[in-house]
Every structure is written in structure tokens, then in C-alpha cells.
């Protein structure tokens, strides 16, 4: 919790000091939280502006589309002595794309010998001398790639969601424990957990400012996401991969792929995962793939704490990306990295997060997409291990539980998920060509006689 | 005087320290001396215990580490090592001095329930601190996640029973070779057995060399359950009901491994990796899909052939009956609980179908504890705790009951078709019951007859028991768990009945 030299004076006063108090007060805090009696000390962890200096870290990127390239740049922005030295993707044009971007934006050149294509490109990338791997392929591949990275003793930054089905989610939970035992660090793209704003309101909620949490509402309602039209030169597999967010076997559907962010916030604040879910959803306007475009799920945690979750990707409808956390004494509103307010039920504002600004009024807050890499590098260089894979796998499995309930119309429990052999995706080896799988879009229930 | 006394007390003090030091030194020596493998082996006369240890991964491993007797059979130092050592030491001394080692039942002592008591889980965890080492297989990772979620209900040895003492019959792995028997050049049956009226007949399993005897059980009326004054009676055995049973056939013996393996061979889904789906749709038995390969050796290495088949699930037993129905053209099924008890009693209304007081056969009461249980009489008919050696027996070793059935009581317990309810008999009306079928719905099925591991009190004609789906599948690491084999139930099998239709009954 020592403030880093590069932490600004202002930030040190704001966060560092609180962090220092926090360490001492942590045990008391836990106690007072469970009793819910009085407001305990507010503990905001020390958030760094940049990663500390240390041993050089050489990274490889697996999955070089938009998020892979973005994550590579975020990684390089996180601190000193960080380099990208190898890249892997199924497609050559993705390799060319990220090379161009890295050259243009960061003057980084990747040698030909360290560029790999194909479905097994990640295996060859792991043979390069690397310290860390960034995994940003469609999530279907994540459990296999993550396992391989852990076995190869690499630190990992991987994008959420970390799996698309229960078998995959459990595989990541186990691999996470392996990473922990092997001393590796893993950060998982749930950047809200690293944002200054969320950290500050979380500390206040944990300190009891709004009492015990009684329910949460989480939303990701937005316009249609992107899609690709099938090109004549593409095989079916290539089309699916390039259009991946629209295919459940590749993305997990949008409740898992996108809305997991908000579900993860609910799990984080409640400090648990739901025990059951009843959900509904449908596909009204999505042009390609087999995903739904709207879900609404009632999740129930222990002690009857409900999470109402809602997500939609349809144009010209009400949009809302936020969380609403309701406690016995007040509530928290968060709104897509913008509004973070705590109120009591008389309407008094208990706390409002103000993003720090410089003399000219510009926000000085580090982007949460960089912040999560700072946390990872800091953990590796200071030895304060951080492994987020299991907690994210739990949130992903929560979202999968909601999805399966909507698909089937049935109540689905956490026990069902932990014992399920559901594995989605094509039969047999994954390769370019036609895709042998059931592409029926699920419809819940049965029609009247 | 004073200084002298001071001097002597100093001497006393010093010699006290010396004696204490010597005591600790010698005590420590004794503890070390009595904790060596050689010392253990000097008294422990288990057949093959040293040999099986040397074959196990705790002796013979790539790292060259030998795990010693006390490393597993006592807790680690600082975690009740000395108290447990004292306890086992006294127990062993007593046994060694006063007991006849020939009388020890090593088979029973190597069963999980017993083994848990003398292999300390804290000791496993003391050395094995990481459940997720790199290189662990996918199945291993899944299984350890499962273990951790069972919070204390599973002991490491539930799965890893063979790590300290090797036993090829108990490996925790899918047994792909199970039931593969090279068929000799003997002739296979091409026609099923012929039922001629209500008389005993021999059934032939077509496509195999296996046959079995079916006994014609006459119709009749009996009192189901036990009177309140019967020794060891449980409340679920009453109230006593008058029951009328129509004529039927019942297999003379419990379904043998020969019979069950014919089913396994003809329908078994060898290549299938998932147990998820059972391919039988009501009456359409054309597409019967049989068992997947089991875990470990379901016969426990006790022998197959005429030995009773066991560890199959209740559902598997039902599918077996459907399969038998299909290949023989007769109507095979599991017995109802009422049929089962009627057949077991063979006309008797006493605790057993032969004369005998259950109190005489149990290990209770001073006399029986001191002088051993007098098992003469019961030995002729029932394989149970006091005479079985903790394993099932071949049917040739026991005598028939009045109906001509063998091993109705003891040996392996038997599935019935009824759902189990504690108050099943009370749910019935007061009239004479005609072929009752049990409760309409339930969670678990009835199991009757008791087994080789039950005491005399639980092998009475009226004793009732039931399946335990969750505990009996506790260590099955598959997702979902097998629908074909119980991973943690070694004492239940079944017996088939065949329906008899009175000539002309269908003419109306």
C-alpha cells in the first residue's frame, strides 16, 4: 500500500492515505459489515497511476481483432519496460492489422517469425520466450487457451467472458486455482472492478453507508451491436468467426458476452453468486447468427436477495447501462462510468464520486482499460499476487445460468450449473469449412395444443 | 547445615533435570523406534499389507519418495500425533495379545468406511497441499473442484483408496475392458426358454451360453410386514397387511454376473463417453442402449460367473428387465415389494423362513460378544455379516427356501419396483390387498433382503431398506453422474420376476 513514486500528490492524499488506514481497519471493517450496525471506515485501495518499474515483461497476443489490438495498446500504456513480442490469430489479415496498428501507434515491430496463424497458433506463440499472454479471441476458445497458458507458466490478461458453457466455466475455475498455486497473476477484463469510480463507491457500500444489500438491478440495454454479412469467399466457419458476437457458441450470447460486466458488479457488491435464476428472452431483430437480442432474468441470491438483470441489443429502444444497488439504509446508482451516487431514502446524497480534474478541468482518471493492466503488472512486479479468473468464471457462469433459463423456460440452479455437462459448439475438430452443429434458435416452453 | 541442605536440594534439582531429560530422550527414542515401518510390520500380520504398499504409488514412484506407515496411519506431528499413537498402540497391543489374528476380517477392514478411520485425511493434506498442480488431467481438475464443494463429506481415499495399498480391482478409473469375455467355441443359445403352464422352467439368453432357473411361485395370501413383538422390528414394517399375490415366476438366484454381462455385451455402449441419455422410449425397446463402461471393477475382484451382479443402478436393473423381455418374448420385470416378501417367506410368518431367533445371530449381548455368535442354522441359508467375510457369496453355497429360491435373505440386497415410503403399509386401506404396487410416486426405490454386510437384524423377511441415490454416487466424478453404475454402493443387486398369465385370461 506504499504510494508509488509516480502517484500524483493529489491522488496520494485522496487514495493512498485511505488505503493505509484501510489495511489496519480491514478486520474491523469485515466485522462491522456483517453486523450491519454502524458505518465502518471507508477503505479505498491504493490505485496506481502507472505500473511500477521492474523486470521487463514480454507479452504475446492471442486473438488480434478489435479487442486484442486494443488490449495490446492498453498493456503498453500501463507502465515502463513492457513489450509486445508475438501475435497469433486464425486469420492473416488480423495479424497484418495489429502489426500496422502497433507500428503506427507505438512504433512496435513484431518480427515475422513471431507471427502465427491458424487455430493452433496459440500453441506456437507459447513457444516464444514470453512472460505474459493476452487472450482476446472469441470466448469459446478461452478455457483451452487459458489452460495452455497456465501449464506454460505464463501470466495472463484475458478478456471476459472466460467461457460460454458450464464445462468451460468450471475448467477456468480449476485452471485459476492452478495459476494461484503456481504463483501466476491473472486479470480478466472486468474493468469495472479496477475503475476509480467503482472502487470508491464499493468502499463506501462495504463500509455500510447504505446498510445491508437487499436487491440489485443491473442493465445493459443498448442499440444493436455489430454484425458481418457472409462473403462469398468465406467458409461457414470463417463467417461465424468474423461475425462471432452473434453466435452463442462463440460469444455465449450477449447476456454472457456483454451483460456479464453488470452481473459481475452485482456479484462483487453482494459478495456471492446467485443460487437460482428464472429468465426470459427472445430474438426479435438480430440480423445474423443464433443469439437472442433481449433477456430479462430474476436471479436469487442467498437470503432472498434478488438481482433483476436486463439486457437488450435492439435499435430505437430505451437504452440504459447501469447498476442500482439497494440497501437497508440507502441506495447506489452507477451509470456507465459517469454517475456514481449514494443516497438515503430521504433523498439526501450520502456521497458522490467526482472524477479528479487537472487545472484546466480535464479529467485525470486513468482509463479503466489501462488501469486493469496496471493492476496486473503491479501484481507481477511486487509479488502481491492477483488471480481474477475464478471470480470472473463465477460471474460468467451466473450469466450462463440466466441464459439457459431463458432458452429453456425452466428455473435453473447453481447446482445444475456446477453439475452440468453442457458444452456448446461444433462437433469434432474446429477447422475452416462447413460447421456441423445444431443451429436452431431455442424457443422456450411449448405451443398450446 | 543450611548450606549443606542447599547443596543436596541442588543435587535433587539437577538429577531431576537429568532424569527428565533421560525420560524425554528415551521416550523420544521409543516413539521413533515404534514408528518405523519395520516395527509396524513386526506385528501387523495383514496378508500382503507390506507387499501392496510396495506396489503402491506411495512406495514405488518416480520421485523416489517412500511414504511410511505412520505418515498415513497417524496424524501429522502437532496434530494429535502422540494421542493417536497411544490409542492405536494400546489397541494393537490388546489385539496382538488377546485376539486370534486368523479371525480378523481384512476384507472388511479395507472397505472405505473402515479405512477412513485409520487413514487420516489431515495426513493426506499435510503432504498434498495443492489440489491443482500443473499437469493434472482435466478429469482430475473437475474431480477436485467437486471434492472441495462437498465440504467435508468426502475423504481423499474415497477416490484415492489404492494410493497406499495397491489393489487393481479398486482403481478409480473408467474400466473400458470390463465385461469383455472371449467367447469360446461353445454353442450359443438361439431360442429362449419355454414356459409351459405354471411350472418351473429354464430361461436361455439368446446369443449367449447363459441360462438361469425360473421358479413357479404359487398364488396365495399372506401377512405382509412384521408383528410388533418381532425382535429388531422397525416401524416401517407395519402395520401388518393381508396381501393376496397372483401366481408368478421368480428367478431362483439373484441375477449373476454371467447374466448381467450378457446384457452388457449385447447392449453396452462401449464407445460412449457420456452417460447422459437412456435410449428407451416407453414400449419401444427396439433401441435399447445399455450400460456404459463402469468405474473400477464392479465385482470388486470377488469373482464373476455365478456370483451376484451388483453396483448397477436401479434404473439399469429396470432396463435389464426390458431387454430380457425383448429377447425372450416374456414379461420380465423387478418384483414388487409385496411379491418379494411373499416369495422370501415361502409360507412362513417367522422372522426368517427357517426356525431361528434373530437375537441369537447378532453380535449383541455379553454372551455373543464374549463367545462369538453361534451361526449354525443361519449359515445354511444366509450370507450375512457374521459369516460372509465381508463379501458376496456364490449361490451354490446356500440352501433354498420353501419355494426353492436361494439367497432371498442376505448376500446382495435386491431392488424392488416400488417407490419407498416409510409408511407405505399404513397408506394402504384395510381390505385384503391384491398385488399391491406401493406408493404412486417417490424419490427412492425399495431394497429388500439385506446383504452380506448386514447384521442378523437386517436380513429378516420383513426388513425394509431403500436406495440412496446421492450417497451411492458420491465419488462418481462424471458430469452428469452415471445412470448405470453406483460408484459407492457394493451390496445391492437384483432378481427378476416373470409374469404369468392364466390361460384364457386374455380371451374376454
Task: State the pLDDT at residue B46.
Answer: 67
Chain A residues with CB-CB distance to B481 below 8 A? 419
DSSP string of A290-342, one letter each residue: S--SEEEEEEE-GGG-EEEEEEEE-TTS--EEEEEEEESSEEEEEETTTEEEE
Label residue A145 by pLDDT band (50, 70, 90). very high
Q: How many CB atoms lie within 10 A of CB B508?
A: 4
With an 8 Å Cβ cutoff, are A170 and B131 in contact? Answer: no
Q: What is the ipTM of this complex?
A: 0.81
Task: State the pLDDT at residue B184.
Answer: 57
Task: State the pLDDT at residue A230.
Answer: 95
pLDDT digits (tens, 9 = 90+) for B74-86: 999 988 999 999 9
Interface test with B, best of A176, A177, A428 (most B CBs within 10 A): A177
Judged against a pLDDT cut of 60, whether residue B123 lies above it is answered with: yes
Distance of alpha carbon A236 from alpha carbon B341, whole angstroms: 63
With an 8 Å Cβ cutoff, are A151 and B142 in contact? Answer: no
- Residues from B contacting A (CB-CB < 8 Å) are 130-136, 138, 141-142, 144-145, 149, 274, 276, 478-481
Detail the DSSP E strand segments found in B16-107: none
pLDDT digits (tens, 9 = 90+) for B419-457: 999 999 999 988 999 999 999 999 999 999 999 999 999
Q: In what order do the strands lie in the sheet with A82-89?
A: A115-117, A82-89, A57-62, A132-135, A155-158, A186-187
Distance of alpha carbon A26 from alpha carbon B211, whole angstroms: 73
pLDDT digits (tens, 9 = 90+) for B321-343: 999 999 999 999 999 999 999 99
The mean pLDDT of chain B is 86
* C-alpha distance from A250 to closest chain B C-alpha (Å): 21
Task: State the pLDDT at residue B482.
Answer: 83
Judged against a pLDDT cut of 90, whether residue A207 lies above it is answered with: yes
With an 8 Å Cβ cutoff, are B276 and A421 in contact? Answer: yes
With an 8 Å Cβ cutoff, are B274 and A178 in contact? Answer: no
Structural domain boundaries enclosing A250:
212-364+392-418
Whether A275 is covered by a domain: the verdict is yes
DSSP string of B283-330, one letter each residue: TB-TT---PPP-BS-TTTTS--TTSBP-SB-HHHHHHHHHHHHHHHSS
Residue B63 DSSP symbol: T
Q: Give the cell for residue A182.
A: 503456481
Q: Give the cell for residue A398.
A: 451466473
Chain A residues with CB-CB distance to B132 below 8 A? 174, 177-178, 180-181
Nearest CB to B480: which of A151, A181, A421?
Answer: A421
pLDDT digits (tens, 9 = 90+) for A284-333: 999 999 999 999 999 999 999 999 999 999 999 999 999 999 999 999 99
With an 8 Å Cβ cutoff, are B149 and A418 in contact? Answer: yes
Closest A-chain CA to B139? A171
Distance of alpha carbon B401 from alpha carbon A106, whole angstroms: 90
SS3 B194: coil
Q: In what order do the strands lie in the sheet with B497-499?
A: B201-204, B211-217, B248-251, B497-499, B332-333
Distance of alpha carbon A125 from alpha carbon B496, whole angstroms: 60
Nearest CB to B133: which of A170, A171, A181?
Answer: A181
Label residue B45 by pLDDT band (50, 70, 90). low
With an 8 Å Cβ cutoff, are A171 and B141 in contact? Answer: yes
Distance of alpha carbon A43 from alpha carbon A16, whole angstroms: 10
By 3-state DSSP, what share of chain B in percent is helix, strand and coil, each rounded to 5? Answer: 35, 10, 55
Distance of alpha carbon B495 from alpha carbon B203, whole angstroms: 14
Q: Residue B119: CB partners within 8 Å, gap ≥ 6?
A: B72, B73, B155, B157, B164
Judged against a pLDDT cut of 70, whether residue A13 lies above it is answered with: no
Q: What is the mean pLDDT of residues A385-401?
A: 98
Distance of alpha carbon B290 from alpha carbon B323, whole angstroms: 9
Label residue B176 by pLDDT band (50, 70, 90). low
Beta bridge partners of A280: A296
* C-alpha distance from A419 to closest chain B C-alpha (Å): 6
Nearest CB to B145: which of A170, A181, A182?
Answer: A170
Whether A182 is covered by a domain: the verdict is no
Label residue B264 by pLDDT band (50, 70, 90). confident
Q: How many CB atoms lie within 10 A of CB A6?
A: 14
What does the angle CA B320 – CA B264 – CA B286 come to, to the nearest 5 degrees?
A: 55
Chain B residues with CB-CB distance to A421 below 8 A? 274, 276, 478-480
With an 8 Å Cβ cutoff, are B479 and A151 in contact? Answer: no
Distance of alpha carbon B78 from alpha carbon B83, whole angstroms: 10
Output the domain CATH number for residue A341: 3.30.360.10
Instruction: Encode B135-160: b = buried (16+ Cβ within 10 Å), e = exposed.
Output: ebeeebbbbbbbbeeeeeebbbbbbb
> What is the bridge-based pairing of β-strands B241-245 and B433-434?
parallel
Task: For residue B55, give Cα distances in angstroms to B49, B74, B166, B167, B269.
Answer: 10, 21, 6, 9, 33
Judged against a pLDDT cut of 80, whether residue B105 lies above it is answered with: no
Nearest CB to A151: which of B134, B145, B478?
Answer: B134
Chain A residues with CB-CB distance to B149 below 8 A? 418
Task: For residue B480, give Cα distances in angstroms to A249, A390, A439, B277, B296.
Answer: 21, 22, 24, 10, 18
CB B373 within 8 A of CB B356: no
pLDDT digits (tens, 9 = 90+) for A346-369: 999 999 999 888 899 888 888 999
Q: Give the cell for residue B433.
A: 390387498
With an 8 Å Cβ cutoff, are B479 and A421 in contact? Answer: yes
Label residue B305 by pLDDT band (50, 70, 90). confident
Q: What is the mean pLDDT of residues B25-34?
A: 84
Label residue B278 by pLDDT band (50, 70, 90). very low
The mean pLDDT of chain A is 91
Closest B-chain CA to A149? B134
Chain B residues with CB-CB distance to A171 below 8 A? 138, 141-142
Query: Residue ranges of the domains in chain B?
Result: 12-170, 201-499
Chain B residues with CB-CB distance to A418 below 8 A? 149
Chain B residues with CB-CB distance to A153 below 8 A? 134
With an 8 Å Cβ cutoff, are B132 and A151 in contact? Answer: no
* Block residue for cell numbers 438491478: A217
CB pairs under 8 A between A and B: 41
Chain A residues with CB-CB distance to B292 below 8 A? none
Q: Give the cell for residue A147.
A: 489452460
CB A398 within 8 A of CB A297: no
Measure the CA dihedral A48/A53/A55/A59, to 10°.
50
Closest A-chain CA to B129? A181
* pTM of the predicted protein model: 0.76
Whether A263 is covered by a domain: the verdict is yes
CB B257 within 8 A of CB B309: yes
pLDDT digits (tens, 9 = 90+) for B348-359: 999 999 988 888
DSSP string of B99-158, one letter each residue: S-GGG--HHHHTSHHHHHHHS-HHHHHHH---SS-TT--HHHHHHHHHHHHTTTS--HHH
Nearest CA among B345, B328, B315, B330 for reference residue B415: B315
With an 8 Å Cβ cutoff, are B480 and A180 in contact? Answer: no
Task: State the pLDDT at residue B470.
Answer: 87
Q: Give the cell for residue B51.
A: 507387499
Segment (H or E) for A67: helix A66-76
Label residue B133 by pLDDT band (50, 70, 90). very high
Long-range contacts of B363-368 (CB under 8 A, 24+ apart): B363/B455
Distance of alpha carbon B344 from alpha carbon B242, whole angstroms: 16
Residue A230 buriedness (CB in 10 A; 0-12 / 13-18 / 19+): middle
Distance of alpha carbon A29 from alpha carbon A40, whole angstroms: 6
Whether A184 is covered by a domain: the verdict is no
Task: State the pLDDT at residue B177.
Answer: 67
DSSP string of A69-124, one letter each residue: HHHHHHHHTTSSSEEEEEEEESSHHHHHHHHHHHHHHH-----GGGEEESTTHHHH
Higher per-residue pLDDT: A425 or A46: A425
* Block residue for cell numbers 455402449: B269
Higher per-residue pLDDT: A259 or B293: A259
Task: State the pLDDT at residue A32.
Answer: 39
CATH topology of domain B12-170: Multiheme cytochrome fold (1.10.3820)
Measured in degrees and rounded to the nearest 5, phi and psi for residue A321 equal -120, 105
Segment (H or E) for B465: strand B464-466
Label residue B505 by pLDDT band (50, 70, 90). low
Distance of alpha carbon A199 from alpha carbon A372, whole angstroms: 12
Measured in degrees and rounded to the nearest 5, phi and psi for residue B33 equal -60, -40
Judged by average pLDDT, the poorest of A137-141, A440-444, B110-114, B163-167 is B110-114
Beta bridge partners of B203: B212
Q: Residue B266: CB partners within 8 Å, gap ≥ 6?
A: B207, B208, B290, B323, B327
For the ranges A33-37, A356-360, B111-115, the maximum mean pLDDT occurs at A356-360
Nearest CB to A177: which of B132, B149, B481?
Answer: B132
* C-alpha distance from A385 to closest chain B C-alpha (Å): 17
**How many domains does chain A fold into?**
1
Task: State the pLDDT at residue B180.
Answer: 62
- For the domain B201-499, what is the CATH code? 3.90.1580.10
Distance of alpha carbon B56 from alpha carbon B140, whole angstroms: 19
Q: How many CB atoms lie within 10 A of CB A432?
A: 15
DSSP string of B221-275, one letter each residue: EEEES--TTSTT--GGG-S-EEEEE--EEEESSPPBHHHHHHHHHHH--TT----
pLDDT digits (tens, 9 = 90+) for A58-96: 999 999 999 999 999 999 999 999 999 999 999 999 999
Q: Give the cell for residue B220.
A: 396365495
Chain A residues with CB-CB distance to B142 below 8 A? 170-171, 174
* C-alpha distance from B187 to closest chain A C-alpha (Å): 41
Q: How many CB atoms lie within 10 A of CB B214?
A: 23
Chain B residues with CB-CB distance to A175 below 8 A? 141
With an 8 Å Cβ cutoff, are A177 and B131 in contact? Answer: yes
Whether A254 is covered by a domain: the verdict is yes
Nearest CA among A198, A172, A256 for reference residue A375: A198
* C-alpha distance from B260 to closest chain A C-alpha (Å): 28
By 3-state DSSP, what share of chain A in percent is helix, strand and coil, each rounded to 5? Answer: 40, 20, 40
Task: State the pLDDT at residue B234.
Answer: 95
Whether A434 is covered by a domain: the verdict is no
Judged against a pLDDT cut of 90, whether residue A271 lies above it is answered with: yes
With an 8 Å Cβ cutoff, are A182 and B135 in contact? Answer: no
Label residue B271 by pLDDT band (50, 70, 90). very low
Instruction: Encode A16-35: b = buried (16+ Cβ within 10 Å), e = exposed.
Output: bebbbebeebeeebeebbee
Q: What is the mean pLDDT of residues A153-171?
A: 97
* Block residue for cell numbers 426405490: B445
With an 8 Å Cβ cutoff, are B480 and A151 in contact? Answer: no
Amino acid at each position: 500500500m506504499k504510494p508509488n513514486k509516480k502517484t500524483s500528490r493529489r491522488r496520494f492524499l485522496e487514495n493512498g492515505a485511505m488505503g493505509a488506514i484501510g489495511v489496519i481497519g480491514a478486520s474491523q471493517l469485515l466485522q462491522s459489515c456483517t453486523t450491519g450496525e454502524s458505518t465502518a471506515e471507508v477503505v479505498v485501495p491504493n490505485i496506481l497511476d502507472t505500473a511500477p518499474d521492474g523486470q521487463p515483461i514480454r507479452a504475446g497476443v492471442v486473438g488480434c481483432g478489435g479487442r486484442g489490438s486494443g488490449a495490446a495498446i492498453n498493456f503498453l500504456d500501463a507502465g515502463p519496460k513492457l513489450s509486445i513480442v508475438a501475435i497469433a490469430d486464425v486469420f492473416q489479415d488480423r495479424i497484418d492489422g495489429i502489426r500496422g496498428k502497433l507500428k503506427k501507434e507505438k512504433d512496435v515491430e513484431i518480427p515475422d517469425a513471431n507471427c502465427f496463424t491458424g487455430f493452433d497458433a496459440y500453441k506456437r506463440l507459447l513457444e516464444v520466450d514470453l512472460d505474459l499472454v493476452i487472450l482476446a479471441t472469441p470466448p469459446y476458445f478461452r478455457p483451452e487457451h487459458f489452460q495452455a497458458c497456465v501449464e506454460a507458466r505464463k501470466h495472463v490478461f484475458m478478456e471476459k467472458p472466460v467461457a460460454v458453457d458450464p464445462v468451460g466455466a468450471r475448467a477456468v475455475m480449476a485452471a485459476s486455482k492452478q495459476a494461484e498455486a503456481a504463483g501466476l497473476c491473472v486479470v480478466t477484463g472486468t474493468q469495472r472492478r479496477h475503475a476509480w469510480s467503482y472502487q470508491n463507491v464499493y468502499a463506501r457500500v462495504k463500509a455500510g453507508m447504505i446498510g445491508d444489500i437487499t436487491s440489485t438491478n443491473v442493465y445493459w440495454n443498448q442499440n444493436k451491436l455489430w454484425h458481418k454479412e457472409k462473403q462469398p469467399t468465406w467458409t461457414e466457419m470463417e463467417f461465424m468467426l468474423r461475425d462471432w458476437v452473434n453466435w452463442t457458441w462463440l460469444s455465449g450470447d450477449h447476456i454472457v458476452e456483454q451483460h456479464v460486466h453488470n452481473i459481475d458488479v452485482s456479484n462483487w457488491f453482494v459478495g456471492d453468486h446467485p443460487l437460482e435464476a428464472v429468465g426470459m428472452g427472445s430474438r426479435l431483430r438480430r440480423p445474423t447468427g443464433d443469439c437472442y437480442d433481449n433477456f430479462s432474468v430474476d436471479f436469487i441470491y442467498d437470503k432472498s436477495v434478488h438481482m433483476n438483470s436486463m439486457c437488450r441489443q435492439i435499435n430505437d429502444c430505451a437504452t440504459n447501462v447501469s447498476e442500482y444497488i439497494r440497501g437497508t439504509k440507502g441506495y447506489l446508482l452507477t451509470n456507465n462510468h459517469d454517475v456514481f451516487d449514494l443516497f438515503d431514502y430521504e433523498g439526501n446524497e450520502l456521497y458522490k464520486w467526482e472524477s479528479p480534474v487537472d487545472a484546466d478541468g480535464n479529467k485525470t482518471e486513468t482509463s479503466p482499460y489501462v488501469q486493469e493492466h496496471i493492476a496486473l503488472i503491479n501484481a507481477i512486479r511486487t509479488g502481491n499476487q492477483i488471480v481474477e479468473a475464478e471470480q470472473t468464471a463465477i460471474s460468467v457462469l451466473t450469466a450462463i445460468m440466466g441464459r439457459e433459463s431463458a432458452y429453456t423456460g425452466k428455473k435453473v440452479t447453481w447446482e445444475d450449473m456446477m453439475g452440468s455437462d453442457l458444452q456448446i459448439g461444433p462437433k469434432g475438430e474446429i477447422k475452416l469449412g462447413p460447421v456441423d452443429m445444431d443451429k436452431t434458435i431455442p424457443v422456450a416452453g411449448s405451443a398450446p395444443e | 547445615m543450611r548450606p549443606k541442605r542447599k547443596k543436596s536440594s541442588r543435587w535433587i534439582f539437577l538429577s531431576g533435570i537429568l532424569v527428565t531429560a533421560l525420560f524425554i530422550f528415551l521416550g523420544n527414542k521409543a516413539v521413533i523406534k515404534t514408528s518405523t515401518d519395520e516395527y509396524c510390520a513386526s506385528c501387523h500380520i495383514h496378508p500382503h499389507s507390506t507387499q501392496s504398499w510396495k506396489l503402491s504409488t506411495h512406495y514405488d514412484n518416480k520421485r523416489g519418495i517412500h511414504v511410511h506407515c505412520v505418515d498415513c496411519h497417524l496424524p501429522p506431528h502437532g496434530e494429535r500425533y502422540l494421542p493417536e499413537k497411544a490409542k492405536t498402540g494400546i489397541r494393537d497391543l490388546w489385539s496382538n495379545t488377546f485376539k486370534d489374528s486368523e479371525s480378523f476380517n481384512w476384507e472388511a477392514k479395507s472397505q472405505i468406511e473402515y479405512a477412513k478411520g485409520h487413514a487420516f485425511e489431515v495426513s493426506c493434506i499435510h503432504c498434498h497441499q495443492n489440489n491443482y498442480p500443473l499437469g493434472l488431467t482435466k478429469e482430475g481438475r473437475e474431480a477436485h473442484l467437486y471434492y472441495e464443494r462437498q465440504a467435508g463429506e468426502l475423504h481423499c481415499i474415497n477416490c484415492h483408496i489404492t494410493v497406499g495399498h495397491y489393489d487393481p480391482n479398486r482403481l478409480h478409473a473408467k474400466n473400458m475392458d470390463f465385461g469383455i469375455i472371449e467367447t469360446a467355441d461353445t454353442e450359443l443359445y438361439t431360442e429362449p426358454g419355454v414356459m409351459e403352464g405354471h411350472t418351473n422352467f429354464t430361461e436361455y439368453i439368446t446369443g449367449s451360453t447363459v441360462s438361469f432357473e425360473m421358479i413357479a411361485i404359487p398364488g396365495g395370501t399372506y401377512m405382509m410386514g412384521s408383528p410388533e413383538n418381532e425382535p429388531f422390528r422397525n416401524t416401517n414394517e407395519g402395520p401388518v397387511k393381508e396381501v393376496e399375490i397372483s401366481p408368478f415366476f421368480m428367478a431362483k438366484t439373484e441375477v449373476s454376473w454371467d447374466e448381467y454381462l450378457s446384457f452388457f455385451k449385447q447392449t453396452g455402449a462401449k464407445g460412449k463417453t457420456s452417460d447422459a441419455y437412456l435410449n428407451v422410449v416407453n414400449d419401444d425397446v427396439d433401441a435399447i442402449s445399455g450400460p456404459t463402461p463402469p468405474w473400477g471393477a464392479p465385482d470388486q475382484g470377488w469373482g464373476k460367473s455365478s456370483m451376484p451382479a451388483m453396483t448397477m443402478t436401479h434404473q439399469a436393473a429396470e432396463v435389464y428387465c426390458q431387454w430380457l423381455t425383448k429377447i425372450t418374448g416374456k414379461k420380465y420385470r423387478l418384483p414388487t415389494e409385496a411379491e418379494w416378501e411373499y416369495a422370501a417367506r415361502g409360507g412362513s410368518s417367522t422372522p426368517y423362513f427357517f426356525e431361528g431367533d434373530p437375537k441369537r445371530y447378532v453380535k449383541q449381548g455379553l454372551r455373543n460378544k464374549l463367545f462369538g455368535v453361534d451361526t449354525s442354522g443361519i449359515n445354511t441359508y444366509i450370507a450375512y455379516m457374521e459369516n460372509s467375510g465381508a463379501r458376496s457369496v456364490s449361490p451354490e453355497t446356500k440352501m433354498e427356501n420353501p419355494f426353492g429360491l436361494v439367497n432371498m435373505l442376505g448376500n446382495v440386497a435386491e431392488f424392488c419396483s416400488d417407490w419407498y415410503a416409510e409408511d407405505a403399509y399404513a397408506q394402504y386401506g384395510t381390505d385384503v390387498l391384491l398385488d399391491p404396487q406401493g406408493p404412486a410416486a417417490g424419490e427412492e426405490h425399495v431394497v429388500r433382503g439385506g446383504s452380506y454386510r448386514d447384521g442378523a437384524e437386517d436380513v429378516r423377511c420383513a426388513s425394509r431398506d431403500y436406495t440412496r441415490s446421492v450417497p451411492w454416487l458420491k465419488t462418481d466424478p462424471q458430469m452428469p453422474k452415471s445412470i448405470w453404475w453406483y460408484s459407492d454402493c457394493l451390496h445391492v443387486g437384483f432378481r427378476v420376476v416373470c409374469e404369468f398369465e392364466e390361460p384364457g385370461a386374455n380371451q374376454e
